[in-house]
């Protein structure tokens, strides 16, 4: 009888294992691609699986990638408010605006839609737009950062803290690549955010100084497409002294979606190094790797005998077990190993009991491990116990009768011997 089992994903792409150098345990190694970025993470956007990383949990300065959080926080705070709502920018938006911050080109008194502001944050990375949105939502140019931190904590960004809405360098304005990947995956599930993140050009409402509207461009996305990296569908760049050249992006092919985030591509090298890094990584993945089934659903891997149980325990999965392998992989190189949690299992087996772990490997390299948890009580079979008892009793009786038989034969032989001696 098949028992339904609960699966807990333990290790994906070996990112939870201790490593000494980037790439040693990466599911898709990219350390030999001559990347300029000093920190990076490659993630399967659909599953959240880390495919490759370097310094994934090291505190970093995110620069304007911060604005991913600014935009998604604003979208959620706006709720059902129409994005066509007009907001006239007050003077406090521009009072205290850091002169080194990038801007969308908005001015005091401009009557813009909330949609204009959101695009002004994302495409040209406008600090004027972040301050305008913050003022609209909180009546303060930077108070939106409080909502940003609350959202970050709510979605699980455990190693992040933000002190401004734009991403300007600050010793306390820190995050990790793990957290940024989590943030971008979360945000891309929101249709409004996804649309804005994937927009290359946008024309705002008319303003006094721009009667035809302000043309906004996502330069990183535009340059990526100009360089032939058409698989890149969305991007948000950032540049500061501490983050150097940073970039987040999403790429897609017919079936898969990927997130790549990087920081600290040095200034002194060629222009757009961070964009070239992203294009290089995506090309490598799409050309050389496939997302393939290691095991098809409903395939029984192994049956665990349950002593005195009403049924044994079949190990199988309700969904295909998928992973990334080289396109020229050999199926015979895929190994599946079950490691039981104990030598023998005896009923009753309680719900939630760990039965063991399944390890999937390719050419000796662990791809992933899954914990096998029983989610149905396996009851005692008293009929089986009765049969075993009958067998034992039968065996004892057989042994007993056998002994009696032997004793009787010995007695007969002794009696015959005695009688024979007597007659002599």
Residue positions in the annotated binding site for substrate?
A: 236
For residue 349, give the 3-state DSSP assignment: strand
Burial of 37 (0-12, 13-18, 19+ CB in 10 A): buried
- CA 146 to CA 77: how far, in whole Å? 12
Closest CA to 228 of 155, 182, 280: 280
Name the binding residues. 236
Burial of 305 (0-12, 13-18, 19+ CB in 10 A): exposed
- CA 403 to CA 409: how far, in whole Å? 10
Q: Does 348 sit behind a cis peptide bond, omega within 30 degrees of 0 on the bond before it?
A: yes
Q: Which of 125, 187, 248, 323 is catalytic?
A: 125
**Residue 352 gets which letter from DSSP?**
T
In the annotation, is 125 catalytic?
yes
Helix, strand, coil: what percent of the chain each, to 5? 35, 25, 40
Burial of 410 (0-12, 13-18, 19+ CB in 10 A): exposed
In the annotation, is 64 catalytic?
yes
Q: Report how far apart, in Å, the C-alpha atoms of 331 and of each of 241, 327, 334, 362 are.
A: 48, 11, 6, 9
Q: Which of 64, 160, 187, 262 is catalytic?
A: 64
Going by C-beta distance under 8 Å and a sequence separation of 6 or more, which residues neighbour residue 23? 29, 30, 31, 32, 52, 54
- CA 424 to CA 418: how far, in whole Å? 10
Closest CA to 345 of 386, 302, 287: 302
DSSP 104-139: ----TT-EEEHHHHHHHHHSS--HHHHHHHHHHHHS
Sign of the four-CA dihedral 317, 319, 320, 321: negative
Active site residues: 64, 67, 125
């Amino acid at each position: 009888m098949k028992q339904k089992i609960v699966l807990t994903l333990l290790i994906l792409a070996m990112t939870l294992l201790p490593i000494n150098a980037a790439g040693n345990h990466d599911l898709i190694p990219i350390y030999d691609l001559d990347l300029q970025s000093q920190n990076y993470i490659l993630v399967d956007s659909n599953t959240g699986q880390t495919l490759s990383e370097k310094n994934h949990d090291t505190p970093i300065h995110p620069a304007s990638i911060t604005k991913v959080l600014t935009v998604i926080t604003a979208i959620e705070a706006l709720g059902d408010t129409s994005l066509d709502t007009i907001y006239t920018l007050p003077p406090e938006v521009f009072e205290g605006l850091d002169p080194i911050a990038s801007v969308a080109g908005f001015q005091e008194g401009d009557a813009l839609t909330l949609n204009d502001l959101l695009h002004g944050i994302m495409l040209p990375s406008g600090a004027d737009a972040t301050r305008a949105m913050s003022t609209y939502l909180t009546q303060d140019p930077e108070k939106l950062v409080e909502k940003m931190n609350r959202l970050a904590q709510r979605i699980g960004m455990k190693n992040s803290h933000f002190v401004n809405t734009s991403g300007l360098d600050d010793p306390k304005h820190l995050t990790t690549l793990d957290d940024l990947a989590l943030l971008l995956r979360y945000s891309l599930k929101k249709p409004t955010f996804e649309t804005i993140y994937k927009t290359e050009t946008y024309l705002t409402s008319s303003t006094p100084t721009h009667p035809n509207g302000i043309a906004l461009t996502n330069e990183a996305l535009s340059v990526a497409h100009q360089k032939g990296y058409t698989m890149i569908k969305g991007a948000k760049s950032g540049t500061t002294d501490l983050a150097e050249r940073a970039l987040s992006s999403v790429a897609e092919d017919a079936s898969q979606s990927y997130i790549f985030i990087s920081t600290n591509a040095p200034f002194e090298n060629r222009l757009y190094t961070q964009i070239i890094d992203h294009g290089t990584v995506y090309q490598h993945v799409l050309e050389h790797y496939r997302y393939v089934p290691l095991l098809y659903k409903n395939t029984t891997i192994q049956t665990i005998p349950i002593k005195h149980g009403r049924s044994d325990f079949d190990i199988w999965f309700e969904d295909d077990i998928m992973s990334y392998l080289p396109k020229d992989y050999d199926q015979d190189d895929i190994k599946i190993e079950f490691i039981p949690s104990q030598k023998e299992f005896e009923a009753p087996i309680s719900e939630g009991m760990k039965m063991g772990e399944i390890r999937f490997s390719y050419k000796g390299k662990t791809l992933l491990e899954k914990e096998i948890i029983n989610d149905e009580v396996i009851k005692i079979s008293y009929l089986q116990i009765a049969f075993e008892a009958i067998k034992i009793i039968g065996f004892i009786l057989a042994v007993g009768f056998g002994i009696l038989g032997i004793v009787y034969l010995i007695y007969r032989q002794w009696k015959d011997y005695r009688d024979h001696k007597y007659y002599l």
